[in-house]
C-alpha cells in the first residue's frame, strides 16, 4: 500500500512536471506501467523464490548475453547504448540484470558457510564485477554503481570480516585515480561540477544549480502542484525522471519532501523486517539485496537533488518515469512478497 | 534444508537499519538546509532564473552616391523570433501563433518541421516587419506563448518606385536550402544577405556582424539582468560612382520605355548612372516577398528583374558601324573606299537592302564620314566584305565585345562576337562569307549589352583607351576586403589620330541636321554619337505576320553618345526596346548628356543657381569663351555675352527618392495611432478631415524636401514602373 502511495505521488509529479512540455501525457503511460507492475508483482509472488534461485546460473548467463546484445545491436540514445528494441518498446537490460545479481548473490551466500573467506569475496566480486564493467562501457555509470551496494550488502551479511573490508577499502582508494581516467569527459565534468557548481554555471553546473534552486525555493510548504516556476519554466532538467524529487520538493515544500522520504524509510524498514523473518538464509539475502538497491537509489537520487551527490543518471525508484525501472521494482517486490508469504513455511 | 541457525546475523541486519536511518537523516538535513534555512536565498534565485538569448542584429552599411548622398538607408522595424530552447510543444502552439501573426498554419508547421534539425538555441525568424496588431498580439500573449519574442531589426530602405533597383539589388534571408551551398555555409538561417546587384557583390563590406545578448528574465518575462553582451558590428558604408543627379535624369529619360541606359566616365570606367526598365521595387524583397509577387516578377514578359544594362544581349545594329569604321580605317581600307548606294547592294548573289530604300531611294555617293552619320548600310556591307570576319572580330574583341566588361555587378553576360572559330566551336559549321555582310551592320549573330557598347564607343572616342567599368570606388574599400579585380586596368587599342578625328567628327554629325538623329541635337553642347536600330527577327518572317504580331517584334532602338566628341567625359549608351528608330533612343540619351553638361556648368559657375534664387527670374546673364570644336584649328577661340534661360530647377538633391529622413516609415508609437485611423477610414464613416494627414502613405510626400526630385511628385498610388507594354514608343514621338 505504501508502495502504491509513493507511486501515485510519482504519477502526480510526472503529470505536473510534464504538463506544459512535449512529454505531456506520459503520466498516463506511467500509470499503465505501474498497473502492469502490480500485476506482475502478484504473479511473481506466487512463484516459489527457491525455484527461481535454482535457475540463477541460467539467468545469469542470459543477462550477460543480453548485455552483449545491447553492445552489439543496442539503440544509441543521448550518446549511450543502453536500450534494445523489442517490438515496439525499448528495453533496458541493465535494469533486469540488477535483479539477477540480487538473486545470484543470495544464491552464492546461501550456499556458503557463515564464515566469509577471502576467496568468497573475490568470487562474489567477480560475479558482480563482470556485468558491472559491461554496463560501464555502455556507458551507464549510474546503473553500474547500483550493482555495488548489492555486492556490499551480500558481503556484509555474508559475514565479511572487518580486516577484509579494510583491505577492499584501501584497494578501492588506490584504484580511484585509475577509475578517474576511465571515466568519460562528461562524467568527469559532472564530478567536478558537483564539487564546485558555481565554476561553470552555464554548462555542467547548470543541472546542480537549477536543482538546488528548485528545492530551496520550494520553502516549507512548497509552491503547489503545477506551480513550481523551476519545474514549469523548464529550468529544471528532466523534471519527470532523474530530477523528479527536486520537482516534488519545489512544488510541495519541505513538509511534502520529508513525508515522501519518510514513506521510503518505512518501506525500507518493512523490507528489513521481512528479511529478519525470512524462512531461510537465501530469502533474507534476496530481500536485503532489494533493500540495498532501493536505499542506494534513494540515497544517490535525493542526495544529488540536495547537492550531496554528483549528478548520475539514477532514477528515484517508484517515482521517476520509466517502464524498465518501474517493472524492476515491482518484480523485486513480488519476490519479496513471495518470501514473506513463505515465512511460516518450513 | 536450511536450518534457522544458518540464518543471517540479526545483529548485522539491525546495523543495516541504523545505517539506513543515518542516511535518511542526512538527506533530511539536506532538505532542511535548502528548504528551511536558505529558502529565501534560493527563492530570489528562482525569481531571477530565466535566461534568454537574444541576437543583436547588425545594421547593413548604407549605400551612398559619389557625393555622399544617401541611396540606401535602414529603418527600424520589428521582427518576431521563435525561441526554440524553451521546450514548448511548438506544434501544439502553431495554430495560435499562425492566427495571431497571420501566417498560413500549414506553412508555419512545414517550416517548424524543416527547422527541427537546426540546434534549438538558434532562434527562428517567424515574420519580419510586423504590423502593430501583430506586435500587440505578442505582447498580450507573453505568458501563454513565452516562445515568441520581438526584436528590432534595421531593415533596408530602398529608393521608391524601383529607382536604381538594378544596381542596388536587394537583400533577402539566407534560406534553409541556401545553407547547404558552400558560399552561404557560414551564415545562419534568417541572416540577411545581398541577393543581387551591389548588395550581393559587396555583401562582405555591407554586412555587419551580429552580436548577442544573454539576459536574465524573471518569471513574468521582465529583464532583470544581463549575463553577456556581445555588441553588433555595423556594416561598412559603400560609396558608389553613381551621380544621383545624373541617375535621376536617366531614370526620368527612360520613364515608361523598356530598355536600359548606361552612363560611364570613359576616362576611368566609373559608372555615373545605370537604369533598366521595367524595374521592380526592392523594398518588396526587404521583407519576405510573397510567392504571388515573386511569380509575377519572374513571369513578366518585360523581365523586370533583369538588369538590361549588363544582362540584355541584343543585336547592336548600326552602333556596330563605329567599330566597323575603326577596323576599316585602321586596316587602311575605309579611307579610300567610296561606294554608290543604290538603296542596297548585291553580294554573293543576294541583294542586301540599305535602310534608306524604305524611305526615298538611296544615299548616292558615300565615303566613310557620310556612311557613319547617314548610317549607310550599303557602305558597311562593302566594308565588311573587304575586311572579312576575322579582322572585324579582331577589332570588336579588342574593344570588349563578346566578353564580360568585368563590371562589379553580379550576373553580367558576355554577349556574342561571331568569328570563324566561334562558329566551328558552337555550330560545328564553316563560316559562310555571306554571313559577314550582315555582321557589317551589327546584325546576324552579333549580340552586345549596353555596357559593352558604352565601353567600346567610349574607348574609340577616347583615342583607344578601353577601361573597366565599375560602380564602386576601389580606393575606398575597407581594409581587409579582398578586391577581385583591378578596376583601374586600362587597355590601349591602336587608333591613329587622323582616323580618330574622322570617326569622332562623323559621330558629331549624327546629331546634326545632316545626321540620322538630328532631332537629338543639343544646342551649345559638343554632342556626338551613333544611332542603331536592330531587327529582333528577320524581315522575311516579319512580312508574314499580322500587324498585331508585328508590334511585338518592333526593332530595338540604340544610341551611344558622348560629350565632348573627343576625349569625352561621359559616354551614354541607351537601349530602347521596341523603339524602332535610333533617333528616339538618341533623344533619351541626349537628355542624360544634357543633364550632365548642365550639372558640370552649374557646379563650375554657380550662375544658374544664383539666378534661380531670385524670385521669378528665369534668366541669367552669362559671358562665355568657347572653341568651335574643330581640331584642325585648336587656337581659334570665340567669345560672347548672352542672356540664357534657366529652368529654376536649382535645389540640390540630397538623397535618392524615397530614402530621405522624412520618407522613413513612422516609428511604432505613431503607427499604432495611425492604424486606428486607417480602421476608421471606412467608406460609410468618413473620419474628420484633420485626422487624415497622419496616414502613413501621405506623410512622406508632405514632409518631403522643398524641391524633391520630380519622381517623388507623383502620387504614391500610381506606380512609376509601368508594365512593359503600357507606353508604346509612338505615343512618345
Say what percent of chain A tops pLDDT 70.
72
Q: Please report, for residues B243, B278, B717, the alpha-carbon distance to residue B257 in angstroms, rounded to integers and kept in the order given.
A: 21, 8, 20
pLDDT of residue B146: 72
pLDDT (tens digit, 9 = 90+) per residue, B547-565?
555 556 778 889 999 988 8
Q: For chain B, which residues lie within 8 Å of any Cβ of chain A, measuring from their own Cβ?
A: 2, 6-10, 12-13, 16-17, 20-21, 23-24, 26-28, 30-36, 38-39, 41-43, 45-47, 49-50, 86-89, 219
Distance of CA A303 to the CA centre of its chain: 13
Range with top average pLDDT, A72-76, A314-318, B647-651 = A314-318
Range with top average pLDDT, A310-319, B296-305, B368-377, B539-548 = B368-377
pLDDT of residue B552: 61
Contacting A residues, span 218-257, partner chain B, CB-CB under 8 Å = 218-220, 229-230, 233-235, 249, 253-254, 257
Q: What are phi and psi of B216, to 5 degrees?
A: -90, 130
B16 and A264: CB-CB below 8 Å?
no
Contacts of A122 (CB under 8 A, 6+ apart): none
B28: nearest CA in chain A?
A258
CA B81/CA B87 separation, integer angstroms: 15
* More confident site: A29 or B445: B445
**Is A24's pLDDT higher than 70?**
no
Under the banding of pLDDT at 50, 70 and 90, the label for residue B714 is: very low
Is A116 in CB contact (< 8 Å) with chain B?
no
**Is B18's pLDDT higher than 90?**
no
pLDDT of residue A106: 83
pLDDT of residue B328: 93
B411: left (phi over 0), alpha (psi -120 to 50) or beta: left
Contacts of A306 in chain B (CB under 8 A): 27, 30-31, 33-34
Under the banding of pLDDT at 50, 70 and 90, the label for residue B686 is: very low
ipTM of the modeled complex:
0.83
Under the banding of pLDDT at 50, 70 and 90, the label for residue A130 is: confident
Q: What are phi and psi of A116, to 5 degrees?
A: -110, 115
Distance of CA B420 to the CA centre of its chain: 36
Residue A246: name the closest of A197, A203, A325, A306 by CA: A306
Under the banding of pLDDT at 50, 70 and 90, the label for residue B13 is: confident
A275 and B8: CB-CB below 8 Å?
yes
Task: Write B641-649 long-range contacts (CB < 8 A, 24+).
Answer: B643/B619, B644/B619, B644/B620, B645/B618, B645/B619, B646/B608, B646/B611, B646/B612, B646/B618, B646/B619, B646/B620, B647/B618, B648/B612, B648/B618, B649/B612, B649/B707
User: What is the number of CB-based contacts under 8 A between chain A and chain B?
Assistant: 140
Residue B413: name the closest of B397, B426, B402, B425 by CA: B402
Q: Three-state SS for B282? A: coil
Q: Do domains B52-239 and B244-286+307-473+487-605 have the same CATH topology?
A: no
**Is B472's pLDDT higher than 80?**
yes
CA A180/CA A318 separation, integer angstroms: 31
Under the banding of pLDDT at 50, 70 and 90, the label for residue B723 is: very low
Q: Taking the domains of chain B in order of start, what are their residue ranges?
A: 4-37, 52-239, 244-286+307-473+487-605, 607-645, 661-732
User: B3 is written with which cell numbers?
Assistant: 536450518
A272 and B9: CB-CB below 8 Å?
no
Residue B558: name the closest of B322, B384, B358 by CA: B322
B7 and A281: CB-CB below 8 Å?
yes
- Across the range B494-511, mean pLDDT stands at 91
Of A153, A217, A264, the CB nearest to B42: A217
Say what percent of chain A tops pLDDT 90.
0
Question: For domain B244-286+307-473+487-605, which architecture applies?
Answer: 3-Layer(aba) Sandwich (3.40)
Under the banding of pLDDT at 50, 70 and 90, the label for residue B466 is: very high
Low-confidence winner among A68-82, A167-181, B165-179, B241-255 (lowest mean pLDDT): A68-82
State chain B's maximal CA–CA distance in angstroms. Answer: 141
Contacts of B38 in chain A (CB under 8 A): 216
Of A216, A284, A298, the CB nearest to B38: A216
pLDDT of residue B273: 93
Given a contact cutoff of 8 angstroms between Cβ atoms, the answer to whether B35 and A249 are in contact is yes
Least Cα separation, residue A67 to chain B (angstroms) = 31
A233 and B49: CB-CB below 8 Å?
yes
A227: nearest CA in chain B?
B219
**Is B535's pLDDT higher than 90?**
no
CA B515/CA B721 separation, integer angstroms: 33
Is A36 in CB contact (< 8 Å) with chain B?
no
A21 and B28: CB-CB below 8 Å?
no
Can you list the positions of beta strands (E) in B297-454?
339-341, 344-347, 350-353, 364-366
Least Cα separation, residue B222 to chain A (angstroms) = 14
CA B196/CA B166 separation, integer angstroms: 8
A269 and B8: CB-CB below 8 Å?
no
A220 and B30: CB-CB below 8 Å?
no
CA A121/CA A98 separation, integer angstroms: 19
A307 and B27: CB-CB below 8 Å?
no
Write the CATH number of the domain with boundaries B52-239: 3.90.1310.10
Burial of B420 (0-12, 13-18, 19+ CB in 10 A): middle
Q: Report which secondary-structure segment, H or E, holds A249.
A: helix A244-276
Least Cα separation, residue A130 to chain B (angstroms) = 26
pLDDT of residue B59: 87
Q: Report which secondary-structure segment, H or E, holds B674.
A: helix B668-680
Mutate to test the interface with A, among B5, B13, B142 (most CBs of A within 10 A): B13
- Across the range B522-532, mean pLDDT stands at 89
CA B317/CA B136 separation, integer angstroms: 60
CA B552/CA B332 separation, integer angstroms: 41
- Across the range B670-682, mean pLDDT stands at 35
B39 and A272: CB-CB below 8 Å?
no
Of B20, B41, B49, the CB nearest to A295: B20
Q: Please report, for residues B183, B223, B258, B561, B579, the alpha-carbon distance to residue B588 in angstroms, rounded to integers and kept in the order given.
A: 40, 59, 12, 10, 11
Amino acid at each position: 500500500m505504501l508502495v502504491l502511495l509513493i507511486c501515485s505521488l510519482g504519477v502526480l509529479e510526472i503529470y505536473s512536471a510534464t504538463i506544459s512540455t512535449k512529454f505531456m501525457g506520459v503520466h498516463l503511460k506511467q500509470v499503465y506501467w505501474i498497473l502492469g507492475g502490480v500485476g506482475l508483482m502478484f504473479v511473481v509472488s506466487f512463484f516459489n523464490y527457491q525455484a527461481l534461485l535454482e535457475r540463477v546460473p541460467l539467468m545469469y548467463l542470459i543477462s550477460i548475453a543480453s548485455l552483449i546484445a545491447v553492445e552489439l545491436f543496442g539503440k544509441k540514445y543521448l550518446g549511450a547504448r543502453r536500450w534494445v528494441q523489442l517490438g515496439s518498446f525499448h528495453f533496458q537490460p541493465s535494469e533486469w540484470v540488477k535483479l539477477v545479481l540480487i538473486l545470484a548473490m543470495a544464491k552464492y551466500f546461501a550456499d556458503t558457510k557463515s564464515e566469509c573467506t577471502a576467496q568468497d569475496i573475490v568470487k562474489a566480486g567477480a560475479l558482480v564485477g563482470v556485468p558491472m564493467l559491461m554496463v560501464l562501457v555502455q556507458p551507464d555509470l549510474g546503473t553500474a554503481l547500483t550493482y555495488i551496494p548489492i555486492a556490499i550488502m551480500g558481503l556484509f551479511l555474508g559475514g565479511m570480516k572487518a580486516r577484509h573490508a579494510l583491505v577492499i577499502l584501501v584497494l578501492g582508494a588506490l584504484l580511484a585515480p585509475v577509475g578517474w581516467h576511465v571515466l568519460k569527459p562528461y562524467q568527469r565534468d559532472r564530478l567536478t561540477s558537483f564539487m564546485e557548481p558555481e565554476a561553470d554555471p552555464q554548462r555542467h553546473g547548470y543541472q546542480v544549480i537549477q536543482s538546488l534552486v528548485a528545492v530551496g525555493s520550494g520553502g516549507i510548504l512548497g509552491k503547489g502542484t503545477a506551480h513550481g516556476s523551476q519545474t514549469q519554466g523548464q529550468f529544471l532538467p528532466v523534471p519527470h525522471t532523474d530530477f523528479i524529487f527536486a520537482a516534488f520538493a519545489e512544488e510541495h515544500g519541505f513538509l511534502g519532501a520529508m513525508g515522501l522520504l519518510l514513506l521510503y524509510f518505512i518501506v525500507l524498514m518493512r523490507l528489513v523486517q521481512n528479511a529478519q523473518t525470512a524462512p531461510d538464509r537465501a530469502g533474507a539475502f534476496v530481500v536485503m539485496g532489494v533493500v540495498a538497491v532501493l536505499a542506494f537509489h534513494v540515497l544517490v537520487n535525493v542526495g544529488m537533488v540536495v547537492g550531496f551527490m554528483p549528478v548520475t543518471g539514477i532514477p528515484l525508484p517508484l517515482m521517476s518515469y520509466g517502464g524498465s525501472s518501474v517493472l524492476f521494482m515491482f518484480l523485486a517486490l513480488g519476490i519479496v512478497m513471495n518470501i514473506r508469504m513463505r515465512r511460516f513455511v518450513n | 534444508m536450511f536450518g534457522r541457525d544458518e540464518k543471517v546475523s540479526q545483529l548485522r541486519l539491525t546495523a543495516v537499519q541504523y545505517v539506513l536511518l543515518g542516511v535518511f537523516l542526512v538527506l533530511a538535513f539536506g532538505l532542511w538546509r535548502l528548504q528551511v534555512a536558505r529558502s529565501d536565498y534560493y527563492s530570489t534565485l528562482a525569481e531571477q532564473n530565466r535566461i534568454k538569448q537574444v541576437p543583436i542584429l547588425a545594421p547593413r552599411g548604407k549605400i551612398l552616391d559619389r557625393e555622399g548622398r544617401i541611396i540606401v538607408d535602414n529603418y527600424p522595424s520589428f521582427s518576431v523570433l521563435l525561441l526554440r530552447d524553451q521546450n514548448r510543444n511548438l506544434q501544439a502552439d502553431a495554430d495560435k501563433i499562425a492566427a495571431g501573426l497571420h501566417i498560413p498554419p500549414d506553412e508555419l508547421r512545414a517550416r517548424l518541421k524543416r527547422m527541427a534539425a537546426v540546434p534549438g538555441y538558434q532562434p527562428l525568424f517567424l515574420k519580419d516587419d510586423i504590423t502593430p496588431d501583430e506586435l500587440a498580439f505578442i505582447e498580450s500573449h507573453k505568458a501563454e506563448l513565452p516562445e515568441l519574442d520581438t526584436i528590432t531589426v534595421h531593415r533596408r530602405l530602398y529608393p521608391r518606385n524601383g529607382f536604381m533597383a538594378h544596381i542596388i539589388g536587394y537583400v533577402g534571408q539566407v534560406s534553409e536550402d541556401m545553407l547547404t551551398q558552400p558560399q552561404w555555409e557560414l551564415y545562419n538561417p534568417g541572416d540577411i544577405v545581398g541577393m543581387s546587384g551591389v548588395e550581393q557583390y559587396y555583401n562582405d563590406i555591407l554586412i555587419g556582424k551580429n552580436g548577442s545578448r544573454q539576459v536574465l528574465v524573471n518569471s513574468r518575462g521582465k529583464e532583470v539582468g544581463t549575463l553577456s553582451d556581445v555588441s553588433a558590428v555595423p556594416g561598412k558604408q559603400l560609396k558608389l560612382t553613381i551621380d544621383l543627379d545624373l541617375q535621376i535624369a536617366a531614370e526620368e529619360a527612360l520613364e515608361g520605355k523598356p530598355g536600359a541606359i548606361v552612363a560611364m566616365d570613359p576616362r576611368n570606367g566609373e559608372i555615373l548612372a545605370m537604369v533598366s526598365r521595367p524595374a521592380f521595387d526592392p523594398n518588396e524583397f526587404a521583407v519576405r516577398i510573397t510567392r504571388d509577387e515573386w511569380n509575377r516578377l519572374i513571369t513578366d514578359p518585360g523581365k523586370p528583374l533583369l538588369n538590361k544594362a549588363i544582362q540584355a544581349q541584343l543585336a547592336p545594329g548600326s552602333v556596330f558601324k563605329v567599330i566597323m569604321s575603326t577596323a576599316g580605317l585602321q586596316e587602311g581600307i575605309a579611307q579610300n573606299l567610296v561606294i554608290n548606294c543604290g538603296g542596297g547592294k548585291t553580294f554573293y548573289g543576294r541583294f542586301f537592302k540599305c535602310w534608306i530604300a524604305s524611305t526615298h531611294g538611296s544615299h548616292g555617293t558615300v565615303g566613310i564620314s557620310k556612311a557613319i552619320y547617314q548610317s549607310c548600310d550599303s557602305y558597311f556591307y562593302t566594308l565588311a566584305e573587304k575586311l572579312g570576319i576575322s579582322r572585324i572580330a579582331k577589332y570588336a574583341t579588342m574593344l570588349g565585345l563578346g566578353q564580360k566588361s568585368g563590371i562589379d555587378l553580379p550576373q553580367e553576360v558576355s554577349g556574342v562576337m561571331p568569328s570563324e572559330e566561334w562558329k566551328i566551336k558552337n555550330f560545328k559549321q564553316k563560316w559562310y562569307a555571306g554571313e559577314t555582310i550582315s555582321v557589317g551592320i551589327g546584325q546576324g549573330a552579333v549580340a552586345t549589352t549596353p555596357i559593352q557598347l558604352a565601353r567600346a564607343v567610349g574607348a574609340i572616342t577616347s583615342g583607344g583607351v578601353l577601361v573597366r567599368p565599375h560602380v564602386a570606388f576601389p580606393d575606398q574599400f575597407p581594409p581587409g576586403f579582398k578586391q577581385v579585380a583591378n578596376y583601374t586596368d586600362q587597355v590601349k587599342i591602336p587608333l591613329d589620330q587622323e582616323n580618330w578625328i574622322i570617326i569622332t567628327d562623323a559621330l558629331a554629325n549624327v546629331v546634326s541636321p545632316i545626321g540620322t538623329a538630328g532631332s537629338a541635337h543639343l544646342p551649345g553642347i559638343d554632342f556626338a554619337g551613333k544611332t542603331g536600330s536592330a531587327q529582333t527577327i528577320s524581315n522575311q518572317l516579319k512580312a508574314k505576320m499580322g500587324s498585331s504580331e508585328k508590334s511585338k517584334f518592333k526593332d530595338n532602338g540604340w544610341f551611344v553618345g558622348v560629350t565632348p566628341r573627343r576625349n569625352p567625359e561621359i559616354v551614354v549608351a541607351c537601349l530602347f526596346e521596341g523603339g524602332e528608330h535610333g533617333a528616339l533612343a538618341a533623344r533619351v540619351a541626349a537628355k542624360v548628356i544634357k543633364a550632365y553638361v548642365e550639372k558640370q556648368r552649374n557646379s563650375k559657375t554657380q550662375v544658374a543657381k544664383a539666378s534661380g534664387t531670385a524670385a521669378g527670374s528665369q534668366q541669367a546673364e552669362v559671358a562665355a569663351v568657347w572653341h568651335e570644336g574643330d581640331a584642325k584649328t585648336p587656337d581659334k577661340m570665340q567669345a560672347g555675352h548672352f542672356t540664357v534661360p534657366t529652368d529654376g530647377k536649382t535645389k540640390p538633391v540630397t538623397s535618392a527618392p524615397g530614402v530621405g529622413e522624412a520618407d522613413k516609415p513612422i516609428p511604432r508609437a505613431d503607427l499604432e495611432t495611425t492604424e486606428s485611423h486607417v480602421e476608421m477610414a471606412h467608406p460609410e464613416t468618413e473620419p474628420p478631415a484633420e485626422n487624415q494627414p497622419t496616414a502613413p502613405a501621405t506623410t512622406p510626400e508632405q514632409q518631403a524636401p522643398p524641391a524633391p526630385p520630380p519622381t517623388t511628385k507623383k502620387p504614391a498610388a500610381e506606380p512609376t514602373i509601368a508594365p512593359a507594354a503600357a507606353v508604346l514608343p509612338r505615343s512618345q514621338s
